[in-house]
Amino acid sequence: MTERVGSPRVDKLDTGIKVTHQYDVNYDAAEDALTTAGFVFGAAHPVPYVASVLMEISIEKDGPKNAIVTLVYYPVTWSAKSPEKVPPVGTVELYSDSNAQEVPLRMSASVSTSNYDRTRNIGIGDLEGIHAFLDPRPVFGRIETLSGFTFSEANVVANVAKRFSTAQMTTRGLTGATKNFWLQMRLQVRQAGDKYQKTEEWQYSEMWSDVLYGAAVGS
């Protein structure tokens, strides 16, 4: 491996020093060359940037035989996968939103014998031809920064599509929640460096069926 002209590049970040090295190498032998040179993720950069560690390795073909190997060393507090600043572990962010659900017209409190044909399940009169309507519903969300998370089926499935109790929603940060009116619609966990961000969302509705949606477990 031969270091390219202009390498390395040094960038000063608010958390430390980012160092980028680029090398020319035979494309077919690039992987072996990296192994022989002893480049491994997490290895500290040589003096003087020992506070930065190797987090990114890329091999880019450059012509018929050559390849450019790029090694990027980030400060130990930085994430190559998620370069944005991640809140400290334990940080919780709450938010609310709303979206529209399509609801069968027969479930509207406004339907009557004068504007709805229950035999054909369709609107008549002022509601001629209408089968359903849009009903905006509140959404509650919670984002928490974790120190660790195991990507197992049990943890990924958890309480998705389950109805939450008042106490369970209080634990999540929503006070005064009506029991069984909040259904967990989203559970997303993404790794951001050495941290994990867990996003949960619940959809509000008075009509979640206990036949279709079971009760959430845990506190």
Overall average pLDDT of the 89-97 stretch: 95
Give the CB-side neighbour count of residue 89, counting CA atoms within 13 A: 10
Assign 83 a pLDDT band (cuts: 50, 70, 90): low
Overall average pLDDT of the 29-41 stretch: 89
- Tell me the pLDDT of the chain averaged across its residues: 90
- Residue 184 pLDDT exceeds 90: yes
Note the pLDDT of residue 140: 98
Give the Cα separation of 100 and 190 in Å (integer): 27
Query: Which has more confidence, 165 or 196?
Result: 165
Note the pLDDT of residue 85: 72
Q: For residue 172, give the nearest of 184, 161, 181 by alpha carbon.
A: 184
With 0-12 / 13-18 / 19 or more C-beta atoms within 10 angstroms meaning exposed / middle / buried, residue 216 is buried
Query: Which has more confidence, 62 or 161?
Result: 161
> Does residue 54 sit in helix, strand or coil?
strand
Give the Cα separation of 186 and 150 in Å (integer): 17
Contact assessment for residue 79 and residue 13, using Cβ atoms and an 8 Å cutoff: no
Assign 203 a pLDDT band (cuts: 50, 70, 90): very high
- Residue 185 pLDDT exceeds 80: yes
With 0-12 / 13-18 / 19 or more C-beta atoms within 10 angstroms meaning exposed / middle / buried, residue 164 is buried
pTM exceeding 0.85 = no
- Residue 80 pLDDT exceeds 60: no
Q: Which residues are CB-neighbours of 83 under 8 A, at least 6 positions away?
A: none
Note the pLDDT of residue 159: 94
Q: What angle do CA 99, 100, 103 make, to 5 degrees?
A: 145
Q: For residue 101, give the nearest of 163, 185, 173 by alpha carbon.
A: 185
Give the Cα separation of 170 and 177 in Å (integer): 7
- Residue 110 pLDDT exceeds 70: yes
The two tokens of residue 153 are 């089926």
Note the pLDDT of residue 3: 94
Query: Which has more confidence, 142 or 13?
Result: 142
Give the Cα separation of 101 and 76 in Å (integer): 45
| β-strand pairing of 182-192 with 195-204 | antiparallel
Query: Which has more confidence, 177 or 61?
Result: 177
Q: For residue 143, give the nearest of 87, 183, 79 by alpha carbon.
A: 87
- Residue 107 pLDDT exceeds 70: yes
Q: What percent of the chain has pLDDT over 70?
A: 97
> Does residue 84 sit in helix, strand or coil?
coil
Q: Exposed e or buried b for every residue in 96-124, given b needs 16+ CB within 10 A?
A: eeeeeeeeebeebeebeeebbeeeeeebe
- Residue 79 pLDDT exceeds 60: no
